Amino acid sequence: MAHLHPSGDAGFNHSFEQASGNRSLTDVEVAERLGVSRFTVRSWRLKGVGPRFLKMGRAVRYRSQDVDEYERQALVETHVDPVARACDR
């Protein structure tokens, strides 16, 4: 039996509180954090790309540290080539 939240839903739109005290994120929260639509986050999940996620029944949640790691992996380092820079002058 599902317990209703004060909002009247069963809590599926709310983040899970993990035992460690870290709050997990919804697809909407991940999308907002990464600057993409929730449909993009869902598409990534279905394609097996994007941040790792937790699946609990039908509910999908993301751990903050997994989103952090995804951002780190997506980071592109830029290097200035001194020769190319001299040619720009």
pLDDT score, position 22: 75
Residues whose CB is less than 8 angstroms from the CB of residue 23 and which lie 6 or more positions away in sequence, other chains included: 15, 16, 17, 64
- In 3D space, the residue among 24, 34, 56 whose CA is nearest the CA of residue 14 turns out to be 24
Within-domain flag for 58 = yes
Within-domain flag for 49 = yes
Domain that holds residue 37: 27-87
This prediction's pTM: 0.65
User: In this structure, are residues 11 and 5 in contact, taking their beta carbons and an 8 Å threshold?
Assistant: yes
Domains held by the chain: number = 1
At residue 10, does pLDDT exceed 70?
Answer: no
Q: Which of 17-21, 69-73, 76-80 has the highest mean pLDDT?
A: 69-73
User: In this structure, are residues 84 and 38 in contact, taking their beta carbons and an 8 Å threshold?
Assistant: no
First to last CA, the chain: 70
Within-domain flag for 22 = no
Mean pLDDT, the chain, integer:
82
